[in-house]
Structure 1
Amino acid sequence: MAGAVELEVAGRTVRVSHPDKTYYPERGFTKLDVAQYYLAVVDGVLRGLRDRPTTMQRFPDGVAGEFFYQKRAPKGLPEWLPTARITFPSGRFADEMCPTEPAAVLWAANLGCLTFHPWPVRRGDTEHPDELRIDLDPQPGTDFADAARVAHELRALLAEHGLRGWPKTSGGRGAHVYIPIRPHWTFTEVRRAAIALARALERRMPGLVTSAWWKEERGAKVFVDYNQMARDRTIASAYSLRSRPRATVSTPLRWSELSEADPEDFDLRTVPPRFAELGDLHADMDGHAFGLESVLELADRQEKDGGLGDMPYPPDHPKMPGEPSRVQPSRARKSGTTGSGGPPEGAG
């Protein structure tokens, strides 16, 4: 195995150890391939991470080995890489890295970080999200084409409320739509807005969309995962590699190409030339910050007129005021109970 190599990025030198280590066995991609990929798209990935507390999904031995999520900044964090203190639902806290310059991306890649999971907040204000992130998660029996159909309907719905979204692949079968917002609302309020949009989509496309938290109730539909806006839930950043065998990438798209896109086409090899040609398709997000007043008014109407209140939180959250039962519906029917109980089947 070759010794370490050094890469230059924006005036800093980043050391990449064990560059020949295989990270994606199916394609033969190495650790150096990963580092060079991130060097090629560093401006795009940094735009999505800049000043955000960021969890690293690390694969020290590549995708064939074990992985873990590193939330707390590791020992040996460079002095030029700042951190921010974030608070978990339990009330505990951690200091997470907050990338502010390109070298941070390569430094993390050298630690085996393949996927970056930034919070939807900036380090200057970690209590008020500045992005509303809509996760369209195809359930068994549906695929990316179905998620794309839902995304287009979401685009129309957002426009009705004075909002604009920027789409990307998840790197898997799903799609993400990001809406930049003013950092004015709490996590609870932004999550409530996501629930309102999920329910509106479900009403418009009942045969294709579900907001049901319990997997047993979703069917062959696209789940709008509103809990991705709960505190301490994150989504893979734009231009993040994923751990799938083909080394796919969560890739920003134009709305015009969404319906014909195949997520498998965007990977470690194909995204750099695409980025060189098109640049960062999410670059202009930073020039916008929308309000959620109209969507929160929709949430109020849904509750007043339809009795549609809160939805279950993820299992690691404490019980929240007004939250319905966390008992899996089939278990509740079997036991005849309606109170909160065991962990949910899954977050999707």
Structure 2
Amino acid sequence: MATQAVELNVGERVVRVSNPGKVYFPERGITKLQVVEYYLAVAEPLLRVLRDRPTTLKRYVDGVTGEAFYQKRLPKGAPEWVETARIKFPSGRPADEVCPTEPAVLAWAANLGTFDFHPWPVRRSDTDRPDELRVDLDPQPGTDFRDAVAVAMVLREVLGELGLTGYPKTSGGRGVHVAVRIRPEWDFVDVRHAVIALAREVERRMPDQATTSWWKEERGEKVFLDFNQAARDRTIASAWSVRGTPRATVSTPVTWDHLSTVDPDDFDVLTVPKYLEEHGDPHASLDDEAFGIERLLEWYAADDRGDMPYPPDYPKMPGEPPRVQPSRKRS
């Protein structure tokens, strides 16, 4: 049943929340207004993640039980205070994406049904050179969050040997995401190659638990290190983002010591504001130091396996192997 709109004073802005009582998460009874209020509660650390980044909005206009879609361009009718950043898709086509700069933008986006914020790993001052290396550890069927944590710990070990500092978070599902701040001196191709080299080293150290196989039929019951999340226009849900799960889970930053003890289902729209109040932002120092990826690129260059396949919607890339499923290639 529709409910009367409410207006929220957010800093200098007034944000109108239409149908605030609309239930977005039936299993928990969580409403649209509660999602908006959640984002205002975590606005400070979330804006550290999103500020000056072109950001795709993952929208669930009918709540978690409806169909979601990715809003990759500034929606029509957006307030004039919603800023943008110009990006280029792999096809070369440009687009102006939302670039969050203040809490009101988070509330406005949540009113549109945005659950996840998907920031590019670039700043709007240079949208062709990432300043963040991201590793997505994705448990395959037969594995779970604990398996992802085990692989993440080896990833941490490799990063440490390279002199790099990684910051882990729950994905909001069964996976783990790790971010490393890097200097914006390399393009998307180089950064993706660096992630491939890093993933291959983790796979080498634990071949029975980790895989870099792009083709699902070859992965087995392992944790997939998804190197293609480093490709242009591929993004992951940001820290503090609500996920489209029945429990309204949240992708939550944790410390490395905490990672091995948490249950990702404990982090949700209702619990994370208190978690932030009690623990602060575990990723607050992420921007304190930016690192280089030279050694990872040396590893990649020395590996005679070369490149890996890109996602199927990409144009053919230089040096890329054939995009043919291994079983079909054999037949």
**The two structures share one fold, judged by TM-score above 0.5:** yes
Deviation digits for residues 125-171 of structure 1, max 9, x if unmatched?
00000000000000011111011111111111001111000000000
Q: Which amino acid aligns with 2:263?
A: D
1:25 and 2:26 are equivalent in the alignment? yes
Distance 1:232 1:171 in 2: 21
Distance 1:76 1:281 in 2: 36
In structure 1, distance between residues paired with 2:217 and 2:28: 35
Matches within 5 A, 1:160-309: 160-301=161-302, 303=303, 307-309=304-306
Specify the alignment match of 2:36 in structure 1. 35
CA distance in 2, matches of 1:235, 1:250: 10
Letter in 1 for 2:227: Y
Q: Aligned pair 1:311/2:308, yes or no? A: yes
Aligned partner letter, 1:180: R
Q: Distance in 1 between matches of 2:74 and 2:288?
A: 29
Q: What is the CA–CA distance in structure 1 between the aligned matches of 2:278 and 2:16, rounded to whole Å?
A: 28
> Per the alignment, in what secondary structure is the counterpart of residue 285 of structure 2?
helix
Classify the secondary structure of the residue corresponding to 1:252. Answer: coil
> Can you give the 5+ residue segments of structure 1 that lack an aligned partner in the other structure?
335-348
* Deviation at residue 13 of structure 1 after TM alignment: 2.0
Measured in 2, the distance between the counterparts of 1:129 and 1:86 equals 12
- The one-letter amino acid of 1:57's match is K
Task: Please identify, of 39-48 and 129-138, the stretch whose mean Cα deviation from structure 2 is larger.
Answer: 39-48
* Amino acid across the alignment from 2:73: R
Amino acid at match of 2:62: D
For residues 182-230 of structure 1, the C-alpha deviation after alignment (integer angstroms, 9 at most, x for no partner) is 1110000000000001100000001100000000000000000000000
Partner of 2:69: 68
| RMSD over aligned Cα atoms | 0.9
The Cα shift of 1:12 comes to 2.1
Correspondence for 1:118: 119
CA distance in 2, matches of 1:86, 1:316: 17
In structure 1, give the amino acid aligned to 2:31.
T
Secondary structure of the 1:117 match is strand
TM-score normalised over the length of structure 2: 0.98
Aligned to 2:86: 85
Residue identity matched to 1:316: D
Q: Secondary structure at the match of 2:110?
A: helix
1:321 to 304, 318, 321: 318
Structure 2 counterpart SS, 1:276: helix
Secondary structure of the residue aligned to 1:183 is coil
Residue in 2 aligned with 1:106? 107
Per the alignment, residue 155 of structure 1 pairs with 156
Cα separation, 1, equivalents of 2:114 and 2:284: 23
TM-score normalised by length of structure 1: 0.93
State how far apart, in whole Å, the 1-side matches of 2:176 and 2:159 are.
Answer: 16
The percentage of aligned residue pairs carrying the same residue is 66
Q: Distance in 2 between matches of 1:245 and 1:321?
A: 41
Q: Unaligned regions of 5+ residues in structure 2, if any?
A: none
Between 1:68-77 and 1:236-245, the stretch displaced more is 68-77
Matched letter for residue 286 of structure 1: D
2:311 is the alignment partner of 1:331: no
AA aligned opposite 1:322 = G
The 5 A counterparts of 1:47-58 are: 47-58=48-59
Alignment partner of 2:78: what SS? coil
Q: CA deviation at 1:9?
A: 2.4
Paired residues, number:
330
1:16 and 1:280 map into 2 onto residues whose CA distance is 27
Partner in structure 2 of residue 338 of structure 1: none
Q: Note the C-alpha offset of 1:2.
A: 2.3
Structure 1, residues 94-136: CA drift from partner, whole Å, max 9, x if none? 1101011111111100100011111000111000000000000
Deviation, 1:180, is 0.5
